[in-house]
Structure 1
C-alpha cells in the first residue's frame, strides 16, 4: 500500500466517506420529527472518529484493516466470517441509497414501482462498470448539494437556528427516546471504528501521526456539518414552506430544488437528477463491495459469485428498504447485528487478549444468533420498547457472556503489549 496522504487529505477522505445520501437525506428526514435531534447520525459519526484516534496509530503500524486483523489472529475462516458479517451492514447502507434514489425519483414524478425498478436496474448496471470516473463526477453533485444547502440555510432563515444548534440538540434529543439515542450512537460510532472503508484512508497516511490527526480534523468537520441539514429543514419548516410534502425522505431534495428553482425548473431537475445519480453511484460502489465480500466469504460456491452475488446483494438491500423504515433507522437496524457479533472479539484483540480460533468463532457466532434473532422477531411483529437497542444488547450480552465463561474457565491469557 502506498502511504502518501497528509493528515488533511486523510481528513478530507474520511469526511467525504461520511457525507453522502444516507447522512444528507436521513438527517433531514429525522429533523421533521425530532427537530435538531435529527443531527444525531452525523454527531455519532464524529464521535466514532474521535474513538478511532485511540487506535489509529496501531492500525497504521499494522498495515491491516479489521478484516485482516481477524484473519491474522484466527485464520481464514474467521476472515471469511467477518467478510460475511460485513455484508449485513453494507446491505443497510445500500438500502439507504435505494431509499434516497426512490425518494428523489418520486419527487420528479415517477411512481413508487417504476422508481424502485429504475433505481435497482441502474445500480446493477453501474456496479458492473468502472466507477472511477463516475465517482468523481458524482462527488461533484454531492459537493454542489452542500453548497446549495448552505445557501438554503442563509435564505431560509436557518442561520440563527444553526448558531444555536448545540443548545437545540440538547433540548430536542430526548424526543428520540433513550433507546434510539443509545442504539444510533453506539451502532454508528462503532461502525466507524470497525469499518474497512474508513480504515483504508488511515492506512494510506504518510505517518501514524497523520492518521491520528486526520481522524481529529474529520471529527471537527463532521460536528460542524452535522447540524446543517436539520438547521435548513427547521428554518424552512418554521417558515411554513414544507406543508405539502408527505414523505420526509424528500425534504432535503425538495429544499435543494426550491433553492435553485428561481434559476429555472430545468436547473432544479438537474440537481435532483444529480443527487439521484450520486445515490446510484454510491449504491453501485457498495454493491461491488458486497459482491467482493460474498465472493470472499463463499469461496468454492459457484452459485454465489459474479452477477449472482450482485443480485443477492441487491435482493438483501431491497428487502430492507421495503420494510418501510426511515433512512437512518434502516442502516442502524442492521449495524447493530454486525456490532453485536464482532465487538467483543475486536475489543479483545485491541486489549491483547489471546483467543483461539474456535473461541473467537463461538463468541461471534453466539452474538450473531442473539442479535439477528431479536432483529427477526422485531421484523415479524414482536413488540420491543426499542427493537434496535434490544438487538444490540442481545448480541453484546450473549457474546460477552461466552467471553466471560472462557475467561473464568482459565482458557484465556493476555499477551504482552
Structure 2
C-alpha cells in the first residue's frame, strides 16, 4: 500500500498523542483518581509506556506499510484478514462509545440532556474524520494545546504545581494500594494494545523517514507521560482543598472542578474551561471513525467513492451511538474492549512475527484455529461481562478477558500444529 510519507517529528508526535488523548484519557483518569488518588493515572501512564515499547516495532510497521490484518491475511489467507479487521472494528466501536459517554457527562454540568449531546458529538466526530489527515493534524495540535492550558490553569488555581512535580513519586507510592490483578489488568492490555493498534499504525507508516519515525514516537511517549499525571493531580488537589461535594459522580469530577475554578457554569471562564474538556474527544473520536471507515472500505464491498466513505462513516457513527447507551466506568470500559482485541489477535500476530525471523513457521491451519478460538473466547467473555458486570476471572475483568483469549490462542495454536504434523500429514501419506 502506497502512503504519502510527509509527517515530520512534531506532526507525527501530535497525531500519535491525539490518537489516545481524548475524553477517556482525561475524564477516565479523573474518575479513577477520585478513589485511587494519583494511581488513577495508571491507564494514561500505560499508554505512554506502550508508545515506548512501540519503538521496537515501529521500523517493522513503517517498512511493511500495511495494516495488521493485511499482513496476517497475506500470510494466512483472506479469512484471517477479515477476522482480524472485524476484531479491530468491533473494539473501536466500544472506544468511540466511551467518548460519547464522556461528552454527555461533561455537558450534563450545564443541565443539557445526554442524548442530544451524544448526537452532536457523533456528528462532529464524523465531519472531522472526513478531513484530509494533514488538516486534521494542525487542528488537533491546536486543540491539544487548549486543553493542556486548561489543566495547567487548574493546577495554578489550586496551587498544585508542586504536587504535579511530585506526582511521579506519588504515583509509584499510591500503586502499592492497588491490587496486583487490577494493576496488571489495566496496564498489560493497554501496553499490548498500542503494539497492534491501527490508530497508531495509520500515523507511524506516514513518517517521512526513519529519523522522524523514532523521534516522533519518542516525543509522543514523553508528552503522553507528562499529560498522564495532570488530571489526577488536579483531582487530588481539589479533593485536598475540600471543594468536591460528597457523593459526586466520578465522571463529573473534572468538569465540576473546572467550573469551580472558573467561577461557576454561568461565568464565561467556567464555561470555557468545561467546554475545553470536549476538545480532545474530537481528536480521538474522528481518528476512530477514520480507521473504522478504512477497515470496512478495504473489503471492497462498496465502490471507491466519496459517497461510499460518507455512508460507511455514518453507519459506524450510528453503531457508536447505540453502544454509548450502555454506560459504565470509563477506564474499565475502554480496557474491556482493548483486552478483547488483544486476547483475540495477539497470539496470531506473535506467530506471524516468529515466522518473519525464519526460525519457525506455524501452519495456516494452526494460526486460523488460534485466531478463531481466541477471538470467540475473548469476545464471548466481553459480552458476558457487559451483561453481568460482577462476573470476572483472575480477580480482574480485563485480565480475565485478555487471559482467556491469549491462553486459548496459545493452546489451539499448538493443537493445530499437532494436527497438522501428525494427523493431517498421516492422512496425506496414506492417500499417497
Equivalent residue for 2:409? 399
Aligned with residue 349 of structure 1, among 335, 349, 352: 352
Q: Give the whole-Å Cα distance in 1 for the aligned partners of 2:264 and 2:326.
A: 37
For the residues of structure 1 that align with 2:179 and 2:396, how far apart are their CA atoms?
A: 9
For 2:278, what is the secondary structure of its paired residue? helix
Match in the other structure for 2:96 = 94
What SS does structure 1 have at the residue aligned with 2:53? helix
Contact 2:87 2:341 (C-alpha < 8 Å) held by counterparts = yes
SS for the counterpart of 2:391 is: coil
2:200 corresponds to which of 198, 201, 216 = 198
CA pair 29-109 structure 1, distance change in 2 beyond 3 A: same
Pair 1:383 & 2:386 matched = no
Change (3 A) 1:130 1:166: closer
Superposed, 1:7-18 pairs within 5 Å as 7-18=9-20
Q: Could you give the per-residue CA deviations for residues 15-67 of structure 1, whole angstroms, max 9, x where no partner exists? A: 23232222111111111111111111111111111211112122222232323
* TM-score in terms of structure 1 length: 0.86
- Which stretch of the first structure deviates more once superposed, 325-334 or 202-211? 202-211
Q: Within 2, Cα distance between the matches of 1:308 and 1:7?
A: 33
Counterpart CA distance in 2 for 1:391 and 1:25 is: 24
Give the distance between the partners of 2:310 and 2:12, measured in 1 at CA.
33
Deviation at 1:84, TM superposition (A): 1.0
Distance 1:372 1:62 in 2: 28
Residues paired across the two proteins, number: 409
CA shift in 2, pair 1:327/1:213, >3 Å: same
Instruction: Within 5 Å, give how 1:106-185 maps onto structure 2.
Output: 106-120=108-122, 123=125, 136-137=138-139, 139-185=141-187
Residues 53-83 of structure 1: CA deviation (Å, up to 9, x unaligned) = 1121222222323233223222333222222
- Residues 117 and 225 of structure 1, relative CA distance in 2, 3 Å threshold: closer
Deviation at 1:98, TM superposition (A): 0.4
Further displaced range: 203-212 or 88-97 = 203-212
The two structures, once aligned, show a CA RMSD in angstroms of 3.1
Contact kept, 8 Å, 2:126 with 2:286, in 1: the verdict is yes
Encode CA deviations 1:380-414: one digit per residue, 9 max, x unaligned: 326323222211111000001011223445649xx
- Distance change (3 Å), C-alpha of 1:333 and 1:297: farther
**Given that residues 149 and 229 in structure 1 are in contact (C-alpha distance below 8 angstroms), is that contact kept between their aligned partners in structure 2?**
yes
In the superposition, the TM-score normalised over structure 2's length comes to 0.83
Question: What are the equivalent positions in structure 2 for 1:251-262 lying under 5 Å apart?
Answer: 251-261=253-263
Secondary structure, aligned partner of 1:323: coil
Deviations 1:227-286 (A, max 9, x none): 111011111111011226722212223333333449981233244335435535643442
Q: Which moved more, 1:176-185 or 1:333-342?
A: 176-185
Gaps of 5+ in 2: 423-432
1:329 to 315, 319, 332: 332
User: Which deviates more, 35-44 or 18-27?
Assistant: 18-27
CA contact (8 A) 1:131 1:285 kept: no
* Structure 1, unpaired ranges of 5+: 413-417
Residue 38 of structure 2: aligned partner: 36
1:3/1:205 contact within 8 Å kept:
yes
Counterpart-to-counterpart distance in 2, 1:271 and 1:109: 16
Mean CA deviation greater in 401-410 or 104-113: 401-410
1:370 deviation in Å? 1.0
Offset at residue 130 of structure 1 (A)? 7.4
CA distance in 1, matches of 2:35, 2:172: 15
Superposition deviation, residue 157 in structure 1: 2.8
